[in-house]
């Protein structure tokens, strides 16, 4: 489609392609919650990146189409456009939720690192500087 001149009917094809890419992206976005293996997560993120690259190509073609054909959307195109908006909203919510999960995990790891640093610092201090427990006579 990129090499030929766009026609009026190409809009429905472009919107359909965009819909399939968004569904794929939503699937990847939701699967990242379950992926615990770093290698698997990297592969998933690569698939998401590929999906984004495809989306950019379709967006470019859509912009070209909208520049060439200045008309209102037909009813079936409006339905597709509404579906795209809903998919984008679901993807946004999924990514925001995942960002929160990663943020909590990052915070927990930071707390663990801080605790380990304190333990290491305590071990480095000479014995005489550590808190001493007084022998109390009863």
Model confidence at 123: pLDDT above 80: no
Structural domain containing residue 75: 10-93
- Residue 84, domain member (yes or no): yes
Say if 104 falls within a structural domain.
no
- Is residue 100 included in any domain, yes or no? no
Q: Does the pLDDT value for residue 16 go beyond 90?
A: yes
Residue 136 lies in a domain: no
Q: What is the pTM of this model?
A: 0.75
In degrees, rounded to 5, the angle at the alpha carbon of residue 118 between the alpha carbons of residues 114 and 123 is 145
Is 106 inside a domain boundary? no
What domain count does the chain have? Answer: 1
Query: Where residue 126 falls among pLDDT bands split at 50, 70, 90?
Result: low
In a domain, 134, yes or no: no
Rounded Cα distance, 113 and 93, in Å: 30
Task: Report if residue 26 sits inside a domain.
Answer: yes
CB 102 within 8 A of CB 32: no
pLDDT in tens, 85-102: 999 999 999 999 999 988
């Amino acid at each position: 489609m990129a090499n030929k001149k766009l026609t009026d009917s190409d809009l429905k094809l472009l919107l359909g392609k965009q819909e399939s890419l968004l569904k794929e992206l939503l699937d990847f976005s939701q699967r990242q919650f379950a992926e615990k293996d770093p290698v698997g997560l990297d592969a998933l993120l690569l698939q998401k990146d590929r999906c984004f690259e495809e989306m950019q190509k379709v967006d470019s073609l859509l912009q070209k189409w909208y520049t060439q054909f200045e008309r209102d959307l037909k009813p079936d195109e409006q339905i597709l456009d509404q579906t795209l908006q809903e998919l984008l909203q679901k993807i946004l919510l999924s990514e925001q939720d995942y960002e929160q999960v990663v943020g909590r995990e990052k915070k927990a790891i930071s707390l663990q690192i801080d605790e380990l640093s304190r333990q290491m610092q305590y071990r480095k201090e000479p014995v005489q500087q550590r808190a001493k427990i007084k022998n109390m006579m009863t």
